[in-house]
Amino acid sequence: MSNTTLIRLKSISEFHKLRGLPAPKHPLISVINYEDMTEQAKVGKQSLLFDFYMISVKRDMDHKYRYGQKDYDFDEGVMFCMAPHQVLSIIREEHGKNPSGWMLMIHPDFLWNTPLSISIKRYDFFDYSVNEALFLSEDEELKMEQIIKNIKQEYQSNIDQFSQDIIISQLETMFNYSQRFYQRQFITRKKASHQFLEKLDIFLNKYFEGEYIIQNGLPTVQLLSEKLNMSTQYMRGLLKSLTGQTTQQIIHEKVIEKAKERLSTTELTISEIAYELGFEHSQSFNKLFKAKTNISPMEFRKSFN
């Protein structure tokens, strides 16, 4: 297989066939164990595009996964989630060992006409990058495994009018636990979190002091995401946990900080300060400053003096 091959998997049945598994018991939802796969990822790089949701817990794996340009090596049990139409690249070395763990696949059609078909879009972790995977404790992993067993048992038994509702309920429980566990991770990985805050502050200070701000305007959430190698959704969740603020609020806070510095230490006009801070129109700068401080830039300058 060419290293540049992209395999699109439109159905769960296609994934079963790709990995040498029997046809799924249910066409729209399936739980599989990695040990049962007779066809593992090929040596080299294999890129997969899923048309369905995928939740996975992997352990004991020595090959890499890639989202975008970042590789991530899972050397312990982790959980990560993918929404439909995302690409996952697997980079496997020769003589690599097979992982253990499980994978849950859910086709969007299974959720059709249920509240979860809408609410699932509110779970940000489906858009986190692989390098932002969830590190589960032993107890947390056991909770997830019990839910997976319940789901598998339900769709493998005789399907009746209650089956879908029961499985949907189990999925909602799993997603709510995932949110709780991610919040725990934001807190417990304090060193990495505080390093991120330092990197963010350093980047914003350099951005506002250099030519970037004049050439490109105010920094965007997407720009911070790219420069700090973190998905926008994970960054928002992390900042909300650490500071209580959204990414956009952090940007605005830095704008006000830099504006106050210039208003209090320079004789630049309000329009010149607005231009230096990346605003095309001084009215937009005045509006933001007053919204954040309850006074206008000119009133701040006068009160300071």
Q: Are 83 and 58 in contact (CB under 8 A)?
A: no
Written as six digits, the tokens of 265 are 């230490």
- Candidate from 29-38, 64-73, 129-138, 169-178 with smallest mean pLDDT: 64-73
> What is this structure's pTM?
0.65
Query: In this structure, what are the phi and psi dihedrals at residue 80, rounded to the nearest 5 degrees?
Result: -145, 160
Q: Taking 70 as the threshold, does the pLDDT of residue 164 lie above it?
A: yes
Please spell the DSSP secondary structure of 42-71, one letter per residue: PSEEEEEEESSEEEEEEES--SEEEETTEE
Please spell the DSSP secondary structure of 1-21, one letter per residue: --TT-EEEE-SHHHHHHHTTP
Query: What are 92-140's pLDDT values in tens digits?
Result: 666 666 678 899 999 999 999 899 999 998 888 887 765 677 888 888 8
User: What's the alpha-carbon Rg for the chain, to the nearest Å?
Assistant: 24
Query: What are 200-259's pLDDT values in tens digits?
Result: 988 998 888 877 788 888 899 999 988 888 888 888 888 888 888 899 999 999 999 999
* Stretch 74-98: mean pLDDT: 72
Query: What are 54-77's pLDDT values in tens digits?
Result: 998 887 655 555 444 444 444 456
> CA–CA separation, 88 vs 49, rounded Å?
6
The Cα-based distances of 273 to 86, 167, 207, 263 in angstroms read 42, 57, 15, 8
> CA–CA separation, 73 vs 133, rounded Å?
11
What is the dihedral angle through the alpha carbons of 98, 100, 101, 102, rounded to the nearest 10 degrees?
A: 40
| Amino acid 69: pLDDT | 40
